[in-house]
Amino acid sequence: MHNPYWRTRYENTPFVTYGLLAVTVVVFILETIAGGSTDNYVLLQFGARYNPLIYAGEWWRFITPIFLHIGLMHLAVNAVSLYFLGEIAEKIFGHWRFLLIYLISGIAGNVASFTFNPEVLAAGASTAIFGLMGAFLLLGDTYRHNALVTQLSRQFMTMALLNLVFNLFSSGVDIFGHIGGLVGGVLIAGALGAPKLGPMPRARQVIAAVVLVVALIALIHLGMLQGAQ
């Protein structure tokens, strides 16, 4: 890694994005082999978000839905989105910050869906993908002096708004999961920062981290109370 060439290759190759894509595709193939990605039993076996099972203690169902998809079109749309958004986000945030943003945004979206859309069996990477859009909104607000970042932020803000409007008129779309992922992306990106672009005020990072943790705990608590009724 001391060789400048290999260091540059390491920093610029979005291998986390490629890894996430590979895992997602492999899981979809396994779903298909197990009986089909649109079969509810298969989805439950692979870890779809289903509130009664979370009430029973299967907390990992806040994570596993990120890697599950319902039908080939669902997979294709999210895979393409992850490929293009992931490449950009990973180069800006760095490999491990990008991975944390993706996973925590996905979890935040599933927690929001758990609380506000409790009767739906849910799966898909869109919660995490909305989180990447949210991360770019944070960058646009923080690094306004950077013309490229500002342009990307505006593009992804437009994309997020159009998708949310589309969600309002589409049946079977988990808009609460998407909003939760978007907000989660803003907060986790604010907590982690983007050192490649410059420093972020420490107080702002701490506030973003505290708000994220408190919001997740509050939403899970609220969802559990609803399940106990």
Tell me the three state secondary structure of residue 122.
strand
Q: Residues 102, 207: contact at Cβ < 8 Å? A: no
64-111 per-position pLDDT tens digit: 999 999 999 999 999 999 999 999 999 999 999 999 999 999 999 999
**Which conformational region is residue 121 in: left (phi greater than 0), alpha (psi within -120 to 50 degrees), or beta?**
beta
Q: How many structural domains are present in the chain?
A: 1
Residue of 133, 33, 142 whose CA lies nearest to 84: 133
Which residue range forms the structural domain that includes residue 53?
4-228
Residue of 167, 191, 190, 193 whose CA lies nearest to 179: 167
- Catalytic pick among 113, 126, 145, 153: 126
How many C-beta atoms lie closer than 10 Å to residue 22's C-beta?
Answer: 10
DSSP string, 73-109: HHHHHHHHHHHHHHHHHHHHH-HHHHHHHHHHHHHHH
Structure confidence at residue 77 (pLDDT)? 92
How far is Cα 87 from Cα 54, in angstroms, rounded to an integer? 33
Per residue in 199-220, is it b (16+ CB within 10 Å) or e — as a string?
ebeeeebeebeeebeebbeebb
Q: pTM score, two decimals?
A: 0.92
Tokens of 205: 């990072």
Domain containing residue 39: CATH number: 1.20.1540.10
The residue-averaged pLDDT of 118-139 equals 93
Within 8 A by CB and 6+ apart from 17, the residues are 82, 83, 86, 87, 90, 98
Give, in degrees to the nearest 5, the angle at Cα 85 between 80 and 89: 150
Tell me the three state secondary structure of residue 121.
coil
Confidence of residue 161 (pLDDT cuts 50, 70, 90): confident
Q: Residues 139, 194: contact at Cβ < 8 Å? A: yes
- Catalytic pick among 69, 113, 153, 178: 178
User: Is 126 known to be catalytic?
Assistant: yes
Confidence of residue 195 (pLDDT cuts 50, 70, 90): very high
